[in-house]
Chain A
């Protein structure tokens, strides 16, 4: 029973983590809370749905296609709404991000209607697998494995490639990185692309898991994922993964204990409590105040 709930929680947490990674990477480099990130996630879910339903692609190809669509969208949003505000106050960029979010969710409502849509029957064979007495659905396994693979790939990109090194440099000190000849604008674009790809994957997986894709799914998931990023320590990549999984497990445990109507409060109560004890999150760096 406990193992069962743990798996449920980890599967949910993995989707939060996939979205949270985008928040945390962007924040780490340009200190922007990218409120439109939830809509990128939603756009990815819709792209995946359309590719499966009308493109007749199998789920994994659709996943790749959705990631591509979201990457283009994420880069486009950054270019139009955030790049001109790079030197402006951070709150202006935040409002711009909120504007993008309202724009994209309304656009999705106009294009795809106000009702939630489901993936076609048999998109992914749903089967119950019995592991140590816990009933685990093949969907959950799909989510955990896909998320794991993507996070591993991200880790490799950030740690082993040249652009990953540039990302780490820019997140440590944006100005110094620029002075060292790193094309920081390219780094920012690349970061948005990576984050959007992961969010799109999260979107498709959530869409398949709950069999529902709707225009307003971005807002809610976005807030939760942002909470996960902050819980883990915003700016920290392992922190986002940890934060997502902790929130997912906590929420599912709350529901399992019979507090399902308190579900949303549980995640935030944990967040607030953790921040009071560790003001920079679970894995966040200590910020030294300088004069």
Chain B
């Protein structure tokens, strides 16, 4: 790679952040279901992917696929009972689920208990940092296509008014469940990449603060906005590094920054801005409204 390893590392952390944020945005931003436990899906993806590469020597792309499918299945299994809970009850259930997953992994022989797993550097044709960025780009395009699809519009209808959506013929429960699974899939892929890039994972890495990190990215950028999730993940992915010169004051500034950004831009940086419309207006074409923006 031609780029400085330090920049590479920041780019990787941004790339993984983007994948996680786009994933969470689908369930929390588009569907309006607050999840405080997405780190659990990241964790499941990281451990299942890593175990596959360690035990069977599976090539990375297949491990990534498995790292997405396993948490998606887990999401289907836990989502079926818990998604009928509303609002903050759902949030605390996802939080609880994440704590349970963490404790289970800390006690399982398979995941090497509290010692964590060392993951060998995978051999790939494209360099790993580039792969992460390409994956981030791909996930962002995928998220945009989900948002503008019939499925995505149904999700936004559920977010805006569940009863009205149901009256319009949308199967609310099944849509929520599908959105949850897609979201968990992306979180798992992000986690699997994280495992292979870092080379070491520990169940304690995927605690409540990880879920909060993801949520902060999504809300900061603007809930439900795909470019917003990209921007939020970029800012918060780079912030800890860029603020590193402040040494111990770093997290102090980070916390204050979150508060200030929310107070001054309560809907997130790109919340309420429809980029497509904005560009079309600039180029003199009349905007065509498809679906509301949050």
Which residues of A lie under 8 Å from residue B248 when comparing CB positions? 110
Q: For residue B256, which residue of chain A has the nearest CB?
A: A103
Q: Is A262 an interface residue (CB 8 A)?
A: yes
Which residues of A lie under 8 Å from residue B34 when comparing CB positions? 91, 94
Are the C-beta atoms of B82 and A262 separated by less than 8 Å? no
Interface-located stretch among B93-101, B148-156, B190-198:
B93-101
The one of B96, B103, B254, B258 in contact with A95, judged by C-beta atoms closer than 8 angstroms, is B258
Q: Is A15 an interface residue (CB 8 A)?
A: no
- Measured between C-beta atoms, what is the minimum distance from B285 to chain A in Å? 31
Q: Which of A203-256 contact B (CB under 8 A)?
A: 219, 223, 226-227, 230, 234
Known: A106-B251, A106-B255, A276-B82. A265 touches B100 (CB 8 A): yes
Known: A103-B259, A110-B252. A275 touches B266 (CB 8 A): no
Chain B residues bordering chain A, tally (CB within 8 A): 48
Main DSSP-derived SS at the B contact region: helix
- Per the bound structure, the CA–CA distance linking A31 and B28 in Å amounts to 17
Are the C-beta atoms of B91 and A93 separated by less than 8 Å? no
Q: For residue A290, which residue of chain B has the nearest CB?
A: B163
Q: For residue B96, which residue of chain A has the nearest CB?
A: A268
Q: Is A85 an interface residue (CB 8 A)?
A: yes
Are the C-beta atoms of B89 and A275 separated by less than 8 Å? yes
Are the C-beta atoms of B84 and A279 separated by less than 8 Å? yes
- Measured between C-beta atoms, what is the minimum distance from B221 to chain A in Å? 11
- Measured between C-beta atoms, what is the minimum distance from A34 to chain B in Å? 12
- Per the bound structure, the CA–CA distance linking A227 and B92 in Å amounts to 7
Q: Is B283 an interface residue (CB 8 A)?
A: no
- Measured between C-beta atoms, what is the minimum distance from B216 to chain A in Å? 6
Are the C-beta atoms of A88 and B266 separated by less than 8 Å? yes
Which residues of A lie under 8 Å from residue B279 when comparing CB positions? none
A residues sitting closer than 8 Å to B (CB atoms) are: 27, 31, 33, 80-81, 84-85, 88-89, 91-96, 98-104, 106-107, 110, 219, 223, 226-227, 230, 234, 261-265, 268-269, 271-272, 275-276, 279-281, 287, 289, 291
Query: Can you report 16 A-B residue pairs in the complex whose CB atoms are below 8 A from each other?
Result: A85-B263, A88-B262, A89-B267, A94-B34, A96-B259, A96-B262, A102-B258, A227-B95, A230-B92, A261-B103, A261-B106, A261-B107, A268-B99, A279-B84, A280-B89, A289-B163
B residues sitting closer than 8 Å to A (CB atoms) are: 28, 34, 81-82, 84-86, 88-89, 91-93, 95-97, 99-100, 102-104, 106-107, 162-164, 208-209, 212, 215-216, 219-220, 223, 248-249, 251-252, 254-259, 262-263, 266-268
